[in-house]
A = this chain, B = another copy of it.
Amino acid sequence: MTAISFAILKKSPGMPMRAGKLVTLHGVVETPAFVPVGTQATVKSLTPEDLEKIGVQILFGNTYHLHLRPGEETVEKLGGLGKFMGYTGATMTDSGGFQVFSLARENKRTTLRHSGDERSEDARIKEGSWSSQDDNFGNLVRITEDGVEFKSHLDGSTHFFTPEKSIAIQKKLGADICLSFDDCAPFPVTHEGAKAAMERTHRWAERSLRSHKGLTTENQKQALYGIVQGSVFEDLRKESAAYIGNMDFDGFAIGGVSVGESKEDMVKAVEWAVPLLPEDRVKHLLGVGDVDDIFYAVERGIDTMDCVTPSRLGRVGHVFVGPGEGTMENRFRMDITKATFATDSGPLTHGCDCYACTHFTRGYINHLFRAKEMLGGHLATYHNVYFMVHLVKQIREAILEDRFNDLKEHWLG
C-alpha cells in the first residue's frame, strides 16, 4: 500500500464538509479528527496510554524542535517518532519552516525589547511595511532562495534548513505524514510580501516533493502534504491552492492562518482554498483552533486540524468547558486556579466522560494548581485534549447522521 489512503464516507449535500477515513501504516484516522501536538515527541504530561484512552488516532511532532533536541539521528536510532515516544498510532511532522520563522520573531522581539527599539518593529508591522523578505529578523533568520539560516533558541548555534534538508530530517523522524517546506509570511504583511512568500513556498514545494520522491523506498513510505499560503489575500490564497493542488501531493495543509489573523481571516482562507484543492485528498488546517474555529473549518471541508492550545492552556489551569459554563471573555474556557473553585465538588465541566472529570472535583484540581503540583497540569491537559478530540468526534458523528447544524447550534448558538 501507499503511505496513506483517504476515503470519503459521507458528504454533506451542497457543502464541502465531509466525514472520511484516513488509512495510515499506523492505524485508521476517522475524520474530521483533532490532532494533538507533541512538539518534543510528547504531548505534554500525557503518556501514550493516556492518548489511546482519550481516543487520539494521530498526533503531530515539530521538526524544528526534534532536529535540535534530541536530533533526528537519535529518534531514528530509537525507531522513529512513534516508536521513540511509545505511541502506536499515526504521526505527522511539520517542515520546521513555521517554527523557524515564529521563534525567530519571538527572539527578535526580545532582542529589540532589550535595545529599547521594540515599538519601531511593531509600528512597521502595523503599517504593513514589514515582510519576510525585507527584514531578516535582525540576523537571527536569513532567508535566501536556497533556504533559511537560523539560530537555535536553545544554544544560539547556527542551522540551515532547505526544502531538501527538511525532507531528509522528516524521513529520519519517520512520521506517517510529512509536510513540505514553506515560507510562512508574518502578519500583517503587504500584498507584495505575501506574494513573494507564496511564490517561494511554491518553488520550495516543488523541491520538497522532488526530494521526497527521491528518498521514498519500499521500506520507507511516508506521505507528503503540500502547503497553501497567501496570507489574507483572496487572489493569493486561490492562486496558491490552484498551484499546490495541481501537484502530486498525498494531501494538503492550509498554513499561515494562526500567526495573528482574525477568525474571519482564517475562515476566508479555508473557504477560498478548499474548493481549488482535489476533493479526494485529505485537507489539514495548521494551528487551529478554538471550539468555534473547528466548526467553521470543518463545515468548509477541513478533515484534520492540529493545535497546541489543549496542552498549553491545561498547563496553566485553563480548562475547556461546554456551552454555558465559560466566562464572558471566552465562553469555552474557565480558569480552574481561581479561589472560587476551592470547595467546588463538581467536575471540570458537566457531561464530560474524561478521567479527570469522572474522578476528581474542581476543588481538588484547584488545590493541585495552588499547591504547584504537577498532577494539576496533567489532569487539566488530559481533560483539554479529551475535550477537543471528543468535540471533533461529535462533529464527525453529526456529519454522518446529517445533524451537523443542530450540533453547531448547540455549541455556538
Contacts and interface: CB of A to CB of B under 8 A. Distances in A.
Interface of A: 40-42, 44-49, 65, 69-70, 74, 77-78, 84-86, 342-343, 345, 355, 359-361, 363-364, 366-368, 370-371, 373-375, 377-379
Contact of A364 (B85, B359, B361, B378): B85
Given A77-B343, A78-B364, A85-B364, A48 B359 contact: yes
What are the 4 closest A-B residue pairs judged by CB atoms, nearest first? A45-B374, A70-B367, A40-B371, A86-B359
A386 to B, nearest CB: 14
B86 A368 contact: no
A86 B360 contact: yes
A172 to B, nearest CB: 13
B69 A367 contact: yes
A93 to B, nearest CB: 16
A175 to B, nearest CB: 16
A84 B373 CA distance: 15
Contacts of A370: 69-70
Contacts of A48: 359
Given A78-B343, A374-B378, A364 B69 contact: no
A74 B363 contact: yes
Nearest to A363: B78
A294 to B, nearest CB: 26
A219 B343 CA distance: 22
A183 to B, nearest CB: 27
28 contacts: A40-B367, A42-B371, A42-B373, A42-B375, A44-B373, A44-B374, A44-B375, A45-B374, A45-B378, A46-B375, A47-B375, A47-B379, A48-B359, A49-B355, A69-B367, A70-B371, A74-B367, A77-B345, A78-B343, A84-B361, A84-B364, A84-B367, A85-B364, A86-B360, A86-B364, A374-B377, A374-B378, A378-B378
A86 B355 CA distance: 11
A311 to B, nearest CB: 10
Contacts of A86: 359-360, 364
B355 A47 contact: yes
A363 B79 CA distance: 11
Given A40-B368, A40-B373, A47-B378, 9 more contacts: A40-B371, A42-B371, A42-B375, A46-B375, A47-B355, A47-B359, A47-B379, A70-B370, A74-B342
Nearest to A75: B367
Contacts of A345: 77-78
Given A378-B47, A378-B374, A41 B367 contact: yes
